[in-house]
A and B are shown apart, each in its own frame.
Chain A
Amino acid sequence: MEATKNQSSFGKKLIKIITRNPIVFLLLIAAIVVGCMVDNFFSWGNLTNLLSNTAIRFLIALGVSGCLITKGTDLSAGRQVGFAAVIAGIMCQRGDYNGRLWKFLPEMNIGLVFIIVVAFGLVWGLINGFIVTKLHVPPFIATLGTQTIIYGISLVISDAQPIGGFQKIYTTLINGRIGDVKGFHLPYLLFVAAVFGIVFWFIYNKMRFGKYMYAIGGNDVAAEVSGVNTTRTLMRIYTTAGIMYAIAGYLLAAKSGGASASMGQGYELEAIAGCTIGGVSTTGGIGTVPGILIGVLVFELLKIILQFLGVNPYYNYVVQGLVIVLAVSLDIRKYIAKK
């Protein structure tokens, strides 16, 4: 008696979870179907691939999530990643590499380069924050402008050339991994992502800054009236975002073994899509770190499914776009129904 009752309430809960996250479950089902149809889908190697792809995009999504939760956006995310990759790539070139771009530099310590790259990210974030809070330009337009500026600067700096010849330590460290059982291993990137995930969870749930962020997203006027310094909080959000993109760019250059100004193109849209699929509401005030992780993971899963199905890569964009539209329309439905 007791057991059946528990079971039915568990069933109800499951149904509720499924109906609240339809896209996630649709894709999980798709993954299972594809896994049964195609060999090697359920392989350790594929899992590793999925996880390390997710790791960097998760960092970018964490960065942009603060902007989304406060009813803003950051279209400059992808170009900031590209900029960071270019700077990191140039500074991490080997001293004896013939094609060095900045020959006046000595061979740099990659830790120092990391700090420089992060400092640049902070500056871009401050600029975005300034335009949004002090010049009152809507975030969509503000970051549309800065993304173009940043791309231009990246092109100038890199001379629109691909950058290679990295120090070995840079690529091996970042592509490092633990263990190697049947092709499965834990990339260091995964730990980086995990650490940031935990840090962000703490910031969003346990710190004043996080509470202020949700309050601004929930009702910015009420937040200001309640004594929240909305200007300062938004500045911090855009700055934090800039730092996250910089870190992602630094890691991405090493992961790919090369960098170029076009690196990271479109990542802002993937990050926004991931956040939205993971339940970050476009109407503000809603979004959790685990949700963002799931959203990004699912989006990467979608890509891998399409790849394994042998879908023409051009169609991938069509499907990804459809999923984004579907996810947001379903998300909005939740709120329309509640009115």
Chain B
Amino acid sequence: MSEYVLEMTGVSKVFPGVKALDNVQLKLRPGKVHALMGENGAGKSTLMKCMFGIYKMDAGQILMDGQPVTINDPMDALSKGIAMVHQELQPIPARTVGENIFLGRYPMKKALGFIPMVDHAKMYSDTAELLKRVRMNFDPKQKVGELSVSQMQSVEIAKAVSANCRVLILDEPTSSLTANEVEALFRIIEDLKAEGVAVVYISHKMDEILRIGDEVTIMRDGKYIGTWEASELTTDKIITLMVGRELTNLYPKRENVPGEVVFEVKDFTSINPRSFRNVSFQLRKGEILGVGGLVGAQRTELMEGLFGIRSHTTGQIFYKGKEINITRPKDAIDQGIAMLTEDRRGSGIMGVLSVADNISISSLNKYLDHGYFINGKKVEQLVQDNVKKMNIKTPSSKTLIKSLSGGNQQKVLVGRWLANNPDVLILDEPTRGIDVGAKYEIYCIIADLAKEGKSIIMISSEMSELIGMSDRIMVMCDGRVTGFIDGSEATQENIMTYATQFE
């Protein structure tokens, strides 16, 4: 009998252009909480998805009780006793707690001896039983949409428990919970431990890990760094292990000189209580302000709030000394602010339209003849200028943008904004999903823009990119700004320290 309930060894997974996992291992003991830690993009979620059968491993094996197993899909994982509570919950809000828990495996009975029917009585009594087990006492017939986030999470955990799981994966379970709710979750975890369940706990929150974790495995850039007893570790040691990598010379030399303040935000707060709050910062002419933080730090939400995509309650925005009011993106654009959104597919490109249409859409007013008719020649000139300036590789201006590579799409979108000649550019993860060569080109464009006197806000989840490109770094945690670091003094450690300053 193996001492481990589940072992993953030599796991590798390659996505096009990226080695997401490289010879990673993870060994889970029954009745222990195993914390899995690493930066954004270290490969934690990918590893869990391999365990849960969502991804297929390219190499490596999974052993359960010492015996090799293959896990083909999530149903397969569940039948083997592996359950996962995802970071983003996906309940069906209009259905009851019981129906959510037993979705896809409703207890059945035969009416009149032959008509198959859902056995509601059994389903709800089983649900009540399960809820008792996770120390929750709400009505099994309540609609899930009426529950709080933490209650929904308890439902998910109850669902996992109902599968009689031996391994439970919790992916950032506390990211949207209050302190009391976290305590309740910890009690459930203690109960599960006592029952011999192995819990995989993914979190960025050091104090939680040190409190309930028994063992800690740390990953970095898709590689396995090591496994330690939680009692051997301290917050500082974990951070060093998580980020410990050399900065290579991947960034162009910057010659921009920050000048006077052009853009200032005071006490900016979201309408959503769990999102950004009381944010204040200044941005100088010709400055590159990096914005760092962990996933869920509400950086994107803040920038989208400033750009008028999301709503805010309080707060002021000053632009060139005057207070401005932004309620929709057009207001910001009219002031000379531009924003490259994070989700290139979702809110950037218009896939079925041409490169020319995509690049000109936000500056069409400039190419009108007699105020009405679009001058095709001027649009073509804009496309050609950008193709030359940014080295966009496209067969023609009429090519559909969806057939270009991610890097070239991104350059088209940068071109879209530059056509408006903005003074402030907000770039949200400008190099995400782009190959290394195109990344460098984007960095050069950013450096050139700053040198021309444009002010740049750059959100990035890549530490090295933040440090390599920013004059100053603003770090956020859980919706708040927790610190500013001068670019020359920034290290992965001090960014991480601010980024994990949970209240």
Contacts and interface: CB of A to CB of B under 8 A. Distances in A.
Interface of A: 202, 206-208, 211-212, 214-215, 217-219, 221-229, 281, 283-286
Central interface residue in A219, A227, A281, by most chain B CB within 10 Å: A227
B364 A211 contact: yes
Contact of A225 (B329, B353, B360, B365): B329
A208 B353 contact: no
B309 interface: yes
Central interface residue in B334, B352, B376, B416, by most chain A CB within 10 Å: B352
A95 B357 CA distance: 54
A288 to B, nearest CB: 12
B147 interface: no
B365 A208 contact: yes
A211 B360 CA distance: 9
B337 to A, nearest CB: 10
A64 B368 CA distance: 26
A227 B374 contact: no
Contacts of B368: 208
A219 B330 contact: no
Interface string B322-364: 0000001110011000010100001111111100010011101
B347 A222 contact: yes
Interface in B357-407: 357, 360-362, 364-365, 368, 372-374, 376
Interface string B402-435: 0000000000000010000000000000000000
Contacts, number: 81
Contacts of A215: 350, 353, 357, 361
B325 to A, nearest CB: 16
Interface in B73-126: none
A225 B350 contact: no
B309 A225 contact: yes
Q: Which 9 A-B pairs have the closest CB atoms?
A: A218-B350, A226-B362, A227-B333, A285-B352, A221-B347, A219-B350, A227-B330, A218-B353, A227-B362
A232 to B, nearest CB: 10
Nearest to B353: A218
Interface size of B as a range: 20 to 34
B329 A227 contact: yes
Contact of B361 (A226, A281, A283): A226
Contact of B350 (A208, A223, A229, A281): A223
Contacts of A218: 350-353, 357
A198 to B, nearest CB: 13
Given A211-B357, A211-B361, A215-B357, A226 B416 contact: yes
Contacts of A211: 357, 360-361, 364, 374
Contacts of A206: 373-374, 376
A330 to B, nearest CB: 17
A222 B330 contact: no
B139 to A, nearest CB: 31
A218 B347 CA distance: 10
A248 B373 CA distance: 27
Contacts of B362: 226-228
Central interface residue in B307, B346, B361, by most chain A CB within 10 Å: B361
B348 A222 contact: yes
Central interface residue in A202, A218, A226, A229, by most chain B CB within 10 Å: A226
B422 to A, nearest CB: 11
B333 A214 contact: no
Contacts of B376: 206
Given A208-B364, A211-B361, A229-B328, 20 more contacts: A207-B372, A211-B364, A211-B374, A212-B361, A212-B364, A215-B350, A215-B357, A217-B352, A219-B351, A222-B341, A222-B348, A224-B328, A225-B307, A225-B341, A226-B333, A226-B416, A227-B330, A227-B362, A285-B350, A285-B352
Nearest to B379: A211
Contact of A221 (B307, B346, B353, B364): B346
A332 B339 CA distance: 33
A207 B347 contact: no
B198 to A, nearest CB: 38
B373 A207 contact: yes
19 contacts: A206-B374, A211-B357, A212-B361, A214-B350, A214-B353, A215-B350, A215-B357, A217-B352, A219-B346, A219-B348, A222-B348, A227-B329, A227-B334, A227-B362, A229-B328, A229-B330, A285-B350, A285-B351, A285-B352
Contacts of B353: 214-215, 218, 285
A226 B333 CA distance: 8
Contacts of A286: 352
A254 B124 CA distance: 66
Contacts of A225: 307, 309, 329, 339, 341, 347-348
B419 to A, nearest CB: 10
Contacts of B350: 214-215, 218-219, 222-223, 285
A283 B365 CA distance: 27
Given A215-B350, A219-B350, A286-B352, A224 B361 contact: no
Interface in B299-320: 307, 309
B374 A208 contact: yes
A228 B329 CA distance: 8
A229 B362 CA distance: 10
A269 B346 CA distance: 31
A284 B77 CA distance: 39
B338 to A, nearest CB: 9
A211 B329 CA distance: 18
Nearest to A281: B352
Nearest to B341: A225
Contacts of A284: 352
A202 B376 CA distance: 12
A219 B348 CA distance: 8
A318 to B, nearest CB: 33
Given A224-B329, A227-B362, A219 B347 contact: yes
A329 B376 CA distance: 34
B357 to A, nearest CB: 6
B176 to A, nearest CB: 23
A207 B376 CA distance: 10
A49 B369 CA distance: 40
A104 to B, nearest CB: 42
B443 to A, nearest CB: 23
